[in-house]
């Protein structure tokens, strides 16, 4: 298989595959852009924007609450094989963090965080956050009820029973998209509302280059899972290196997931000119649209 252009999107490891209709909508919009000769970077940004607006995923409008029960902090990043990189970290009060990350690529910087990111978002006219979703509230209350029942350890010290929290399905998911355009450029976009539970200020893998995302001449990678574990393994870059050195996307996918103990939730999507891979050790909403040569 050789790919002329295409896009893959995911809704986060642990999401029900029934939610793949949201990923299909995101891929459809991005694929039409690629058909119209738009660049891969704009296509993946649009795919993530649609997933952020969906409300069923932990990104944008569906972002989870921090442990204080009132704070929403989001991360997003974009990158392409033409050296564009942009990330926002712990940004608040924006509807679409991925759009702000895309605008960061037009500045001299590669990342903006906290109040600086919010000031930049306001300057470019980014839409404000629509308010905490019902799903986020339900997830927060479920987490707190499990804590009060003594089923998932103590809030302090943090987090001695983290693995059990993740097993209980109230952990975290991320959205992501990878694409190849007609000109041969690759791109990736990722966005997340973080983890549940998590401290205010916590940052996972999503905005960290080589950890949550990577794109280069050989392809593009977006990953999802337990951010702290992903960062320790530089997961996205490890997967990319297999593609770059061996040219085998299926091997990159299977080996990537193999880096983690089965108890650690992990997933990935990959695209190269030789094909694509979707791999996860939990259920994961996803969709793929390709035009073969």
Among candidates 40, 29, 50, which has minimal Cα distance to 3?
Answer: 40
Query: Rounded to whole angstroms, what are the CA distances from 209 to 22, 78, 138, 202, 216?
Result: 26, 9, 31, 17, 12
For strands 85-91 and 213-216, give the pairing.
unpaired
Q: Are strands 175-180 and 111-113 parallel, antiparallel or unpaired?
A: unpaired
Q: Which residues pair with 3 in a beta bridge?
A: 292
Given the residues 174, 190, 192, 224, the one annotated as active site: 174
Q: Cβ–Cβ contacts within 10 Å for residue 33, how many?
A: 22
**CB-based burial, 135-156: b 16+ in 10 Å, e otherwise:** bbeebbeebeebbeeeebbeee
* 15 annotated active-site: no
101/89 Cα distance (integer angstroms):
9
Q: How far apart are CA 101 and CA 99, in angstroms?
A: 5
Active site residues: 174
């Amino acid at each position: 298989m050789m790919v002329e252009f295409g896009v893959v999107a995911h809704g986060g490891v642990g999401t029900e595959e029934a939610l793949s209709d949201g990923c299909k909508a995101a891929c459809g919009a991005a694929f039409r852009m690629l058909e119209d000769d738009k660049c891969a970077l704009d296509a993946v940004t649009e795919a993530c924007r649609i997933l952020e607006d969906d409300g069923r995923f932990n990104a944008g409008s569906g972002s989870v609450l921090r442990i204080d029960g009132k704070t929403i902090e989001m991360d997003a990043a974009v990158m392409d094989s033409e050296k564009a990189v942009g990330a926002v970290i712990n940004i608040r009060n924006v509807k679409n963090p991925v759009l702000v990350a895309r605008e960061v690529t037009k500045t001299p910087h590669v990342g903006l965080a906290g109040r600086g990111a919010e000031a930049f978002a306001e300057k470019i006219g980014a839409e404000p956050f629509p308010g905490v979703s019902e799903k986020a509230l339900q997830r927060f209350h479920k987490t707190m009820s499990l804590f009060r029942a003594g089923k998932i350890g103590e809030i302090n010290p943090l987090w001695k029973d983290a693995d059990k929290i993740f097993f209980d399905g109230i952990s975290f998911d991320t959205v992501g998209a990878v694409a190849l355009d007609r000109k041969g450029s690759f791109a990736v976009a990722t966005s997340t509302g973080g983890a549940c539970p998590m401290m205010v200020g916590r940052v996972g893998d999503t905005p960290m280059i080589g950890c949550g995302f990577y794109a280069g001449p050989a392809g593009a990678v977006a990953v999802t899972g337990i951010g702290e574990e992903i960062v320790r393994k530089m997961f996205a870059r490890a997967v990319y290196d297999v593609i770059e050195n061996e040219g085998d996307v299926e091997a990159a996918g299977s080996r990537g997931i193999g880096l983690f103990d089965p108890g650690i939730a992990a997933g990935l999507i990959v695209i190269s000119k030789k094909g694509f891979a979707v791999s996860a050790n939990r259920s994961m909403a996803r969709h793929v649209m390709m035009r073969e040569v």
